[in-house]
Structure 1
């Protein structure tokens, strides 16, 4: 029988590739965010979501679920970055002091953005939306809702940029590991 082996670095049972885990979590989060922002939300908006009764509770439910998922993913990324700082490899993100600080800063910023979404923007936008959802009320979007949408898109652009930069940090380390073993 032929034994096929891959030239990739092998992990012992007690070792975990945190840079790979951070890479996969960041890709998953970035993909989910882009699908929500560029596919789901435009479709809901174009279908008349803002004028439909019950849009506030549906929007709050969707964003509350996604915000809690974002808090989980940001926590996993911070855990991965801190773990890489503790047990770094020969060419890891954490060997370089500036790259280490950038990775830590980015992961902390991602947690701050997820917390801001979960505990500031989504509850206030949901409360304003519920007031618009009452029967007999003329559906005029208040200026506060427009301001919060602007704050959401600003934070969303920062989040996408931070995830992209974190992806480049982790990918370069993983690519270096694979090129060393070939």
Structure 2
């Protein structure tokens, strides 16, 4: 009786966390730039934003994108925690990396569950007989908050992207 022994010695392949974070941040930030500076201005220029159905269309567009943002933010935070566990950075930068990643996740959560539902609700045409087309003050406040968070997201995201790129090279 011959016993055939197969010993499979696969080399231990380590996950390239730097590549994952570079992809997640690159995809997320480029998608945000496309949405903020191409899609929404194009919809605005075409008159879609004053159409009564824009609130529901905006809710759908942003709702889908916000779920993608949550996935990207979760990946970024996971990578940051792996970096912290492996001590890939000095202590101060390690703490900042995890903090910035956590803030990015909080921004994505606030967009998904606070900003977009409220902005969509304010955008709904509740009184179709009203002749006013001015944006309500509350809607303006939500937009201002959104753009402040977008600026923070871009700043933190680009910082993490730079640090991850330097670590990769």
Contact 2:18 2:79 in 1 (8 A): yes
1:1-182, aligned counterparts within 5 Å? 12-88=11-87, 92=88, 94=89, 96-130=90-124, 132=125, 134-138=127-131, 139-175=133-169
SS at match of 2:129: coil
State the Cα distance separating 1:168 from its structure 2 match.
1.0
Max Rg structure: 2
- Unpaired runs of 5+ residues, structure 2, are 1-10
User: Any idea what the Cα deviations from partners look like across 1:118-175, whole Å, max 9, x if unmatched?
Assistant: 1111111111111x26532333310011111111111001000001000111111111
Separation (CA, whole Å) in 2 of partners of 1:133 and 1:147: 19
Contact 2:84 2:98 in 1 (8 A): no
Aligned to 2:5: none
With the length of structure 1 as denominator, give the TM-score of the two structures.
0.82
Of structures 1 and 2, the one with the larger relative CO (CA 8 A, separation 6+) is: 1
SS at match of 1:53: coil
Separation (CA, whole Å) in 1 of partners of 2:145 and 2:168: 34
- Unpaired runs of 5+ residues, structure 1, are 1-11, 176-182
With the length of structure 2 as denominator, give the TM-score of the two structures.
0.88
Aligned to 1:6: none
State the Cα distance separating 1:104 from its structure 2 match.
0.4
RMSD: 1.4
